[in-house]
Every structure is written in C-alpha cells, then in structure tokens.
Amino acid sequence: MIQTVGSHLRRGFASVFSSRTSRKSASRAGDADGAMADGEGYRNPTEVQMSQLVLPCHTNQRGELSVGQLLKWIDTTACLSAERHAGCPCVTASMDDIYFEHTISVGQVVNIKAKVNRAFNSSMEVGIQVTSEDLCSEKQWTVCKALATFVAHRELSKVKLKQITPRTEEEKTEHSVAAERRRMRLVYADTIKDLLANCAIQDNLESRDCSRMVPAEKTRVESVELVLPPHANHQGNTFGGQIMAWMENVATIAASRLCRSHPTLKAIEMFHFRGPSQVGDRLVLKAIVNNAFKHSMEVGVCVEAYRQEAETHRRHINSAFMTFVVLDADDQPQLLPWIQPQPGDGERRYREASARKKIRLDRKYIVSCKQAEVPLSVPWDPSNQVYLSYNNVSSLKMLVAKDNWVLSSESNQVRLYTLEDDKFLSFHMEMTVHVDAAQAFLLLSDLRRRPEWDRHYWSVEVVQQVDEDDAICHVISPPLGGNPKPQDFVILASRRKPCDNGDPYIIALRSVTLPTHPETPEYRRGETLCSGFCLWREGDQLTKATGCPRRTCMEHACPTRRALPACCL
Ligand code: COA
Ligand code: ADP
C-alpha cells in the first residue's frame, strides 16, 4: 500500500518538476468564490461590531479606559456574535491570553469587532479585534486581539451547532487554525501543570537586598461581590465579562500595593470559567502579588462562589494571572521593589510565577511571531513543545489556506502551484490518489517508511516520540546541488486527524535543534520552516493530496541558513 501511495506521489511530483512547459498562470479552483467573498458588500454573517466613546466613568486612576470595562465590552460583543451563530444563549467558557499593545484615553473611541471563527460541537471560537480611534486626529491603533470560546446552552438539551463556512482567505485561515488552537486550549491546564513541575527556576531570594523588599502579605486583597440582575443575562447566568472586570479590579489593587503608584495591565493569562454562577451568588475574589521581576509583576486572582444559605460550600469559578508594569511620564517601565513571599504557598507561587514568565516569553516568541521573524530551527525543550507543535501545524495550515496560489504547471493530473511574497517563494503540488485518506495518512505520517518510496530520504530515525502525534526525527538525504556531502535534518513531525468532515489530515514538518544531534562534519545540515502534506477525503477510495514545501529565497544564499531544497520534504 505504501508503495501505491508513495509511487503515486513520486511519479506525480516528479512529472511536475520535469515539466518545463509552464502553463499560463491560472487561479486556483474556488478562487471565484474567494473573490466574491472579498469583494464589496461581503460581511461575515456572524460579525458583530461595538463602538464606545470612552467617558470619565469608564476610566481608571490614570485617566485611561480601565481594562475591566474593556473586558466587559469584549465579552458582550463576542457573546452576541456567538449567539447570532448559535441562535440560542451562550456562555463564556474561556478567553485566551491577551496582550495589550496600547492604552485608550478618555475621549477616544474604542471599536470592537467579533466573529465566529469556527463552530465545533457545542462550542465556538470567537475572534475579537479591538482598535482605538482618536476622533480629532483620525489616528487608529490596534489595542489587542482576543480569542474567546463560547458554549451554546439550551435548557435540557445538548446543542449541536451548525458548521461555519469560511469564505475569505482570512476566514479560511482562522477556521483551519482554530482546530489546532482548540486542541491546545483543552490541554492548557495540564500543560501548564507539567511545565511548572519540570521548569527549573533559580530563586535568588537570599541574595536580595531586604531594604527593597515588600512582604507579599501587604499586597493581599479579598473582596466580595453580590451578583445582581444587571450582572447577568436573561437566564440569570453571570456575564463572563463582569467576572473578568471584578478580577481586574482586585488585581489592580494588589499591584498598586506593591508599587504604591498606578500600575498598567500589560497581559492576562487564559481565563477559564470552570463553572457557572447565578444571580444571588456571592463571589469572593482574592488577589496577591505572586512575584515581582525587574520591570513587571505577576498578580494572581482566584474567584469562588457561594449561596448565602451554604456559605461553606464554595465553588471555584476562575483563576487568572495578570502582568502589570509601572510606566513613567514617558511611558517607560520603572524598576519595581522585590517581593518577599510567605513561606509555604507563597514561595510555591513565587517560583511558579517565575516559571510562568519563562513559559510566557517562549510561547509569545513562537506563537505570536510572524513566520519571517522566527529562526528556521528553534531549540526543542519541554517548555516550548506544545507551542512548537502548534506552530508546526498552524504554519502549514495557514500556508495552504492562502488564496493567492498560482497554478504554474500541470502534468499527469498533478498541479504545481507557486506563491511569492516579500521573503518567500513557496510551492505546493496537488494530485488525487486512489487510496482512502485515512490509509494514506497512516502510511505517510510514519516518516520511518518514507525511504521506501522517496529517494530523497535515505534514512529516518525517530529520536524522540514526544507524544502520540508528535515525533522528532533525524533524516538523512542524498547530496544535492553539486555538494558531495549528504544532508541531514532534525525535524519535528506533527500529524493531525481531521476535526470534522471538511478538514484535511495533516502531516507537518519543521526543523528544530536538539543538543543530542548537533551539526557534524559528516553531513550538511538542512533546515525547513514549514512543509508537509494535507490530505482531503474526496470519496471512499479517493484522496486529494497536497505536498507543500516552502523555501526562503533571500536567505537561500546565506550559508548560516541553508533553506531546504524543496524536493526533499
Ligand atoms: N476552553 C474552551 N472550551 C472548553 C473548555 C475550555 N477550557 N472546557 C470545555 N470546553 C468546551 C468543550 O470542548 C466542549 O466543546 P464541544 O461541545 O464543541 O466539543 C464544551 O465546552 C462542553 O464541554 P463539556 O465537557 O461537555 O462540558 P464541561 O463540563 O467541561 O463544561 C462549560 C464546559 C464551559 C459549559 C462549563 O465549564 C461552564 O458552565 N462554565 C461556566 C460558563 C459560564 O457561566 N461563564 C460565564 C461566567 S461564570
Ligand atoms: P495557585 O495557588 O496554584 O496559584 P489558585 O487557583 O488557588 O492557584 O489561585 C490563583 C491565584 O490567586 C494564586 O496564585 C494567588 O495569586 C491568588 N490567591 C489564591 N488564594 C489567595 C488568597 N487566599 N489570598 C490572596 N490571593 C490568593
């Protein structure tokens, strides 16, 4: 079977490369729809917009829009978008990490746009964009982007949501990557727990100057809120945005107690609403500064709910971690005092905050960097494995979802598409093979079998089986381009089954570096940023296969960054 799939691909792809008769460029099938969708008048049917003029009653001590108020508006806009798609009430299940790029001043307008990126079973991912606008100068700024998950609730019955059909390139990309983000979200708590357990952080508490230390205890805050009808939807469930606003309030008080000035909230780590709360509940919010670094501090907040008649029965509703800085008049971050944690839980949280900071920075680097900014090979380590794997799959999905691929040649029913942007020349091949998609996936995703059908793979050794779907492999391939040395690659191979019917099977490959497999004089080290296969089921025994290498043109000439010859991966 592997021979059938492999030889289809080998013969097919080889014939495209040998075909010198480049056809007149033609658009990829389906572009007509894309063009229509991008054209005038198209608006995503789930899109909801909110514009608010920032008044003094919305601002904090610094005269800027309070993040709590912004979170309420974000949650409301996103909820209305989710409900527009679901056709029934929805609750906030989670809000992914948010990084605030700009503050918003009184008198400015905040514009919020939300749309459903993808519907799963009963949950949906909603993408939210927040910009601010200065009415006098007409300037606009991006404030933040957020991703929230809402769950549709119909009393007594489980809701099965209708699918979203993405139309524009941006919608297709978000739709495709949303499945990978969901996978990451659902294991988030376990991932963080594992990482914290394995992340060795040095605490240099003993060597710190005690005169600059503030006991963490001094920053502790406890505050109660009674959930009233204006805080809840028509079914009596507390709005997620309201809870986030209350959390931001206590976190700001704790942060102010450390710096004795007015701090600015820079980032929030994932809000996960573990359980609902209703009108009549009492919510107890507790916050404390877990750790203070040179220019930033982490404040942790936890929320519990109880009914008056059962005060001892407290439900854990949410916990979140917020990063604050203190800015001077020129918006430069100021030095912060050190924190002296309480023995026991305080010291544990102190160490965990340091670990979270490292994880946050690694993750921000991998997940939010633009492709062109990430070096080809990122060092592999347990604290970034989830994000590298996410980046591996989502990069391939984003590349394939682009709608400016141009058909440059076709031979033996194999189509070669190219795509040029500022830095990259990418190409992919598309063909139909007479094999069931699941079977083709099983065979192609086992990289150890690739030398059986691909002469560009001499050998593949699995160096580390990271989890069921991710493995790091050492690949050796023949010499190329006049250089007598064979090439070797250290590759993270990530495979994914479809999340629903329209999804492809994915086999994504990207280079990583491993201390156990350094460059050796024996081989020329090759690298790939993003390559692999997407397999779409087209029938019982019919699969559309896309082989997708990308190569960097400008860096191709640079000896320190040897981009991969495309025919190899
Ligand atoms: N992030 C994103 N989605 C999540 C999630 C998380 N942390 N935890 C669960 N979900 C999704 C699941 O993937 C599932 O989606 P699917 O149906 O599309 O596959 C959906 O939520 C239901 O999951 P299930 O396992 O059946 O239910 P649960 O017992 O985990 O409950 C909630 C999930 C969100 C319904 C539940 O935790 C809840 O009611 N939370 C409070 C929501 C709320 O009231 N928010 C407002 C502020 S209190
Ligand atoms: P953890 O203690 O593992 O961090 P929790 O969910 O219990 O997780 O708490 C989240 C955060 O809320 C803590 O890191 C801490 O900053 C804050 N917190 C928890 N309990 C209290 C408390 N009793 N007083 C003040 N802050 C608290």
* Site of tokens 């780590």: 269
Task: Tell me, yes or no, whether 420 and 542 share the same domain.
Answer: yes
Q: Ligand 1 in contact with 189 (CB < 6 A)?
A: no
Q: pLDDT (tens digit, 0 to 9) for every residue of the chain, 569 residues total? A: 555 556 655 554 443 333 333 333 333 333 334 334 444 689 999 999 999 999 999 999 889 999 999 999 999 999 999 999 999 999 999 999 999 999 999 999 999 999 999 999 999 999 999 999 999 999 999 999 999 999 998 876 779 999 999 999 899 999 999 999 999 899 888 888 887 887 666 666 666 666 778 999 999 999 999 999 999 988 899 999 999 999 999 999 999 999 999 999 999 999 999 999 999 999 999 999 999 999 999 999 999 999 999 888 999 999 999 999 999 989 899 999 999 999 999 999 999 999 889 888 877 766 665 555 556 677 888 777 888 898 899 989 988 888 888 999 998 888 999 888 766 778 888 999 999 999 999 999 999 999 998 888 999 999 999 999 999 999 999 998 778 899 999 999 999 999 887 889 999 999 999 999 999 999 999 888 888 999 999 888 889 998 877 554 433 333 333 333 334 34
Nearest ligand to the CA of 152 is 1
Q: Are residues 451 and 553 in the same domain?
A: yes
Q: Are residues 281 and 420 in the same domain?
A: no
**Any bridge partners for residue 211, and if so which?**
none
Evaluated on CA atoms 6, 7, 10, 16, the torsion sign reads: negative
The Å distance, Cα 459 to ligand 1 centre, comes to 44
The answer to whether residue 190 is domain-embedded is no
Q: What is the pLDDT of residues 3-41, one digit of tens each?
A: 555 665 555 444 333 333 333 333 333 333 433 444 468
Ligand 1, atom 34: closest residue by C-alpha: 93
- How would you classify the pairing of strands 505-513 and 378-379? parallel
Q: Note whether 499 and 405 are same-domain residues.
A: yes
Do 359 and 415 sit in the same domain of this protein? no
| 128 vs 135: CA distance, rounded Å | 22
Residues 247/303, Cβ–Cβ less than 8 Å: yes
In a shared domain, residues 363 and 391 = no
177 in any annotated domain: no
For ligand 2, what atom is nearest to the CA of residue 352? 4
Best residue among 95, 151, 277 to mutate for probing ligand 1, ranked by most atoms within 8 Å of CB: 151
Is residue 511 within 8 A of residue 531, CB to CB? The reply is no
Supply the DSSP symbol for 444.
H
- Whose structure tokens read 């280079």? 511
| Shared domain check, 252 and 143 | no
Q: Are residues 547 and 404 in the same domain?
A: yes
Instruction: Report CA(220)–ligand 1 centroid distance (Å).
Output: 30
Give the number of other Cβ atoms within 10 Å of residue 7's Cβ: 13
Is ligand 2 within 6 A of the CB of residue 220?
yes
**512: nearest Cα among 460, 474, 459:** 474
Dist CA 16 CA 327 (whole Å): 58
* Last residue of one domain, picked from the residues 302, 337, 368: 368
Site to probe by mutation for ligand 2, drawn from 195, 270, 288 as the one with most ligand atoms within 8 Å of Cβ, is 288
243 lines ligand 1 (CB under 6 A): yes
User: Structure pTM?
Assistant: 0.86
Judgement on whether residues 65 and 119 belong to the same structural domain of the protein: yes
Residue 204 lies in a domain: no
Same domain, 103 and 149: yes
Domain with 246, as residue range(s), is 213-368
Residue-wise pLDDT tens digits, 33-48: 433 444 468 999 999 9
